[in-house]
Amino acid sequence: MQKDGNLHEYATKSISQVLSIPRDKLDHRLPKEVFPAGCMVDDKFLRVWESLPRLRVEETQTPSKTLRVRVRRLNRGYTDRNMIYAPKFPKPQQESWFVIASDSGGKLLALQRLSMSGREGSTELNIAKDFTGESVTLRVVSDGWRGVDIEKTVAWKSVDVAET
Q: What confidence score (pLDDT) does residue 5 get? A: 52
Over residues 25-36, the pLDDT tens digits come to 666 556 555 555
Over residues 35-66, the pLDDT tens digits come to 555 555 667 777 887 888 888 999 999 888 89
Q: How far is CA 134 from the centre of its chain?
A: 24
How many CB atoms are located within 10 Å of the residue 104 CB? 12
Q: Give ∠ CA 27-30-33 in degrees, rounded to 5.
A: 115
Domain boundaries, the chain: 1-41, 54-163
Q: What confidence score (pLDDT) does residue 19 get? A: 67
Nearest to 31 by CA among 49, 7, 4, 5: 7
Gap between the Cα atoms of 139 and 106, Å rounded = 11
Instruction: Kindly state which CATH superfamily the domain 54-163 is placed in.
Output: C2 domain (2.60.40.150)
Nearest to 54 by CA among 9, 92, 95, 89: 95
Over residues 114-164, the pLDDT tens digits come to 988 888 999 999 998 888 888 999 999 998 888 888 999 999 887 654 444
124, with CB counted inside 10 A (0-12, 13-18, 19+), is middle
Tell me the CA distances in angstroms from 17 to 29, 54, 130, one per residue in order: 12, 11, 38
Q: Over the chain, what is the mean pLDDT?
A: 79
Gap between the Cα atoms of 134 and 138, Å rounded = 13
Q: What confidence score (pLDDT) does residue 33 get? A: 54
